[in-house]
Amino acid sequence: MLDMKIIRQQPELVQAVANRKGIEVSVERILERDRQKREIQQKVEELRRERNERSERIGRLMRSKPKKVTTSAAVQRGALYEPERAAVKKINDELAALETEWTNVSQELEELLLLVPNLVSPDTPEGLSDADNVELKRVGEPPQFAFPTRDHVELGESLGLIDISRGVKVAGTRNYYLTGIGAMLHRAVQQLAVDLLIKRGFTLLDVPLMVRPDAMTSTGFFPFGQDQVYRVEDEGKCLVGTSEAPLVAYYGGEIVNVKEPIRLTAATACFRSEIGSAGRDVRGLYRVHQFAKVEQVVICEADYEISERCHQEITANAEELLSLLELPYRVVAVCIGDMSQKTYKQFDIETWMPSRNAYGETHSASNLGDFQARRAGIRYRGKDSELRYCHTLNNTAVATPRILIPLLENHQNEDGSVTIPEALRPYLNGMTVIHPIAGPKEPNGTMTI
């Protein structure tokens, strides 16, 4: 959530960012509701003050006792405090109406504020879509094959690693089975990523995969993105599309110690409905409903120099993982039109996928500033003991089965086998090559060392 002070001070900038991020929200309406809310609040405070003063006068009158209790004295006292009582009743009626109006205005303002996007860093490129992202660097060269290549589906099926037809039979489109060594490879890349992050000072958490909707709102996934989420209606919960949501919500509403940045990771199943992606990347494992991710989340001080260092750090962690997998990749600075509502600065890492003859996104590293922490209520005490909202960051360490696309395709051999990168071999009992299986398409559980 954006600080209301920024919206008041720089409304034109906030509206311009919303327009460039493609978010429909009226900053003018927000300011109008903000003004109404403050005016109502001021009236309420004035009326409460007047009510208190009149109530005190009534109390003093009722406590004062005349020397002689006579009918005329009682009438005289009543004549003094009955008008005060009537005035207090009228004030209470006005307060009730104002408090209802305040609730309605506050609710509308809150709903509008949830639509306001984060501002963007000064070095974020201009642009409307991923076509306008700016390449920062390339690492490794795409392999040159002296033979006709197979895509990951052909390789996976011939090697007995992937079974898409049975996945569709059982669960519908965009579903699959990873079988035998395919499932082992899936787990191996996750464990490689987890081990790498633990060495980098990350704490591993096993997190809930079903969370309350308010956890999705507080971490910035709602109100936008609701169509991407599977809901467990009877439980009133949502299946997460990334462990970022439960990792950040873990500290929701708390005051934390960020003298050293808090580094969290989790390896989880993730679920995404992919509404709106009909016809896109329909073949294979690129865009599926269920997948697994090892996520990086960092919570640090509200200092852009510190969070920039953390942003570089989590990007470097993902790059190291790709280097261990011996995969060529590039890093791009994401333009404003391709950024999400909550993102202040973003790098995408794209890995070379021979079947696409292009780089495909495998990682997204984001600095959110204090936008997410404001929603989640995550604060720390600064050196002056004042409470401040933290900065939060996130990045994928590895997402699978998508990572299996470049892993299989870049390491394929002419005979249809796939060479296993050295870094993965300890997680696969020393296996070096996955060989095609003979006969019917069945899981390949054979290891050649």
Query: Roughly what angle, to the nearest 10 degrees, separates helices 11-20 and 27-63?
Result: 130
Q: Catalytic site residue 330?
A: no
CB 274 within 8 A of CB 174: yes
Instruction: For tokens 């990347």, name the residue.
Output: 281
Classified as helix, coil or strand, 407 is helix
Q: What angle do CA 76, 79, 83 make, to 5 degrees?
A: 160
Backbone angles phi, psi at 353, to 5 degrees: -125, 105
Q: Catalytic site residue 157?
A: no
Q: How far is CA 385 from the centre of its chain?
A: 29
Q: Catalytic site residue 379?
A: no
Burial of 257 (0-12, 13-18, 19+ CB in 10 A): exposed
Q: What is the per-residue DSSP string for 144-192?
A: --SS----HHHHHHHTT-EEHHHHHHHH-TT--EE-THHHHHHHHHHHH
Q: Catalytic site residue 12?
A: no
Through-space distance between the first and last CA atoms of the chain, rounded to whole angstroms: 53
Residue type, 416: G
Q: Catalytic site residue 364?
A: yes
Q: Which two tokens stand for residue 59?
A: 């109390």
Rounded-to-integer distance, Cα 151 and Cα 94, Å: 72
Q: Which of 157, 319, 350, 361 is catalytic?
A: 361
CB 235 within 8 A of CB 210: yes
DSSP-derived letter for residue 264 is E
Rounded-to-integer distance, Cα 78 and Cα 84, Å: 10
CB 176 within 8 A of CB 162: yes
CB 331 within 8 A of CB 345: no
Rounded-to-integer distance, Cα 431 and Cα 449, Å: 4
Q: Which of 364, 375, 379, 409 is catalytic?
A: 364
Q: How far is CA 18 from the centre of its chain?
A: 18
Classified as helix, coil or strand, 299 is strand
Helix or strand holding residue 375 (H, E): helix 371-376
Q: Which of 287, 330, 356, 388 is catalytic?
A: 287
Count CB neighbours of 256 within 10 A: 16
Rounded-to-integer distance, Cα 40 and Cα 27, Å: 20
Q: Which two tokens stand for residue 320?
A: 């190291």
Q: Which of 20, 33, 51, 272 is catalytic?
A: 272
Return the C-alpha torsion angle 341, 343, 349, 354, nearest 10: 0
Number of helices and strands in the chain (H, E)? 12, 17
Positions marked active-site: 272, 287, 361, 364, 402
